[in-house]
Structure 1
């Protein structure tokens, strides 16, 4: 396939997720192949059971069922998708990490607030009374979209500052088995993935940018190949009843279990767990192709399996978390190399969720959804700090 590049773009906009909109195309030859990590080999597991490259350290931020240190908030079960929001401006600004809870009933989302030094200063709920909140996405106007991964699920728009009562249901964005969301400020749309084996890829076109209360839901239409051109078609009934949204438009392209989603500078990347692929949409040319496919890795065994949540850095690296596999977060570099960045030991019945960078790009947050116990009540949320490429 034609070679593509991630451009190492400067950070644009302040106060959204850490580097949520800074990746762009630079010579990503699709699909990426095995190679050495830019950070070097993984070292023996640290005291938290995490294998990291030399120079990186980890700490536990929160554990499900226990109070977050120094706060009165009990961390939620099954922490899943997450994002980081800047909290203030300038050198004294801290940040907020928002995390979903993938349980039913209960669900919702919580948050941890940090000061500029990284010390925890508060923790609280931002969403209550929902079901199976899996992934989501940060909006440029500084809200968190929390998505229900159930048939007929909704998207909820939340304030990362809380309280939970400020969260608003957004039915115009469609009722289906939602997974992730990502804003495209250039085309003024929000992209959405669907977690079913014959799912679709959507975009929501708000009537007014910044207001998700009304708009048009559209679905990607393309052929059955792994690359080609695409177009958008309007979903006649976003409510999805009695006909599911994915079955309303002839020619809608099917994706096997849509998961994580990341947008940056005219490109969207999303993962499909059913076939262990990372897809790449060129939104200026309306083309799509594979950025990674574990069945096409050569030589050797694929390092990345069970693809799930994804985020990106200002340098141009993608970080893809595994649901199962070796319990790794793998990096896909601008040089088309895929390699493990970290591995969690002893969490064989868990999955890695919610990777997100701080505004400075020197800390990465993520969770092991079920920890070492294999139960939703055993979730652990971590911070990794070190010399990330920026």
Structure 2
């Protein structure tokens, strides 16, 4: 069971507690700009990033500038980190038409850039995505009938489309190794929330695509009226008849499918899959063990423009803003929602691709359109934050 812990205009609503250690024993949410476990934000540094005391920023890549021997791509978007011996790799998508794709930066154990290379090219509006437990990167096309490409962050194997995962406006992906499924968000005003059940875990070539639906269980808060948008309570899953249909959109194939206004980021941890919806500025929480849906955040401030999301083993969630005031906000297991960082002077941009290095000591993210804020993303900036993160 989940605790319904959303706040809007100062109101609180409570239910039962989140499953899994991520939110066990959590108190009610407290929206605050002052109660961060890291303390208040300081003045912006030389990179225009405002951080708590003890944290520092570094720019690791800029659109159109060489990093590790390659030109960094326009409009950097979703990202993830992968282990690489004593170092690590950060992968970033490019959300531009036709040429999109993804690029990887290899870091040594001293965090020095040791090289960079393309792992996907010639795709279309690659937005968010997600990492798999077998260390591949799922790059998602945010277009009508978009595809998911499984990429090798180490640059050895060619990227492959995974068409069984559906043809729709893909946004993000998150793997659940316990139930052996991949959760998927859809960036449409009446989008759905999906899970892909591969025929063999670790191989995404074949399998079935399912969509979250209202539960027929008597007394369910969703009560069989999903068209007006999702609510909280018990849910069920139904198979999508034709995930690659040419003429009928995936989201229209199951009548009882729940609707989410602009699905964005997606993050799984310890039995709970968190995902965001930009249309209503919500962070949703799906309790996979009990098949229940709840709202983890529903407020106007301090987090506004919910987008990409990631988390740490400590149970902290980091939620990036698309617009807003260009912050990454922290949602702690104690239910504090508070800014962790802010990028000043990038008002026409959005924060994308938050991801932690494998040891949890460094956070990577991008300002997709940079200080100029041009729509083509030719001024993108990718940052690294170092400091005493809770792990």
> Same fold judged by TM-score > 0.5?
yes
Matched, 1:80 2:80: no
Unaligned stretches of 5+ in structure 2? 1-13, 215-221
* TM-score, normalised with respect to structure 2: 0.90
Matched, 1:171 2:169: no
Deviations 1:23-57 (A, max 9, x none): x3324467653351111100000000000000000
**Alpha-carbon offset, residue 240 of structure 1:** 3.3
Q: Which residue of 2 aligns with 1:298?
A: none
**What is the aligned residue count?**
362
Deviations 1:359-388 (A, max 9, x none): 111100000000001120000000000001
Unaligned stretches of 5+ in structure 1? 9-23, 296-301
Q: How do residues 233-272 of structure 1 correspond to structure 2 at under 5 angstroms?
A: 233-272=238-277
Pick closer, same or farther for the CA change 1:324–1:276 going to 2, 3 Å. Answer: same
Deviations 1:247-271 (A, max 9, x none): 0001100000000000011110000
Residue 172 of structure 1 aligns to a residue whose secondary structure is helix
Q: Which runs of 4+ in 1 moved over 4 A?
A: 5-8, 28-32
Q: Which residue of 1 aligns with 2:369?
A: 370
Distance 1:74 1:127 in 2: 14
* 8 Å Cα contact 2:28-2:334 kept in structure 1: no
Deviations 1:190-223 (A, max 9, x none): 0000001000000000011111010000000023
Pick closer, same or farther for the CA change 1:339–1:120 going to 2, 3 Å. Answer: same
Q: Which residue of 2 aligns with 1:207?
A: 199
Distance 1:321 1:308 in 2: 5
Matched, 1:145 2:129: no
Pick closer, same or farther for the CA change 1:371–1:6 going to 2, 3 Å. Answer: farther
Pick closer, same or farther for the CA change 1:349–1:252 going to 2, 3 Å. Answer: same
Deviations 1:215-237 (A, max 9, x none): 00000002345210000000001
Pick closer, same or farther for the CA change 1:29–1:181 going to 2, 3 Å. Answer: farther
Residue 39 of structure 2 aligns to a residue whose secondary structure is coil
What is the CA RMSD across the aligned residues, in angstroms? 1.4
Residue 230 of structure 1 aligns to a residue whose secondary structure is strand
Q: Which residue of 1 aligns with 2:9?
A: none
Distance 1:83 1:350 in 2: 20
Deviations 1:305-341 (A, max 9, x none): 0000000011110000000001000000111110000
Residue 166 of structure 1 aligns to a residue whose secondary structure is coil
Pick closer, same or farther for the CA change 1:196–1:137 going to 2, 3 Å. Answer: same
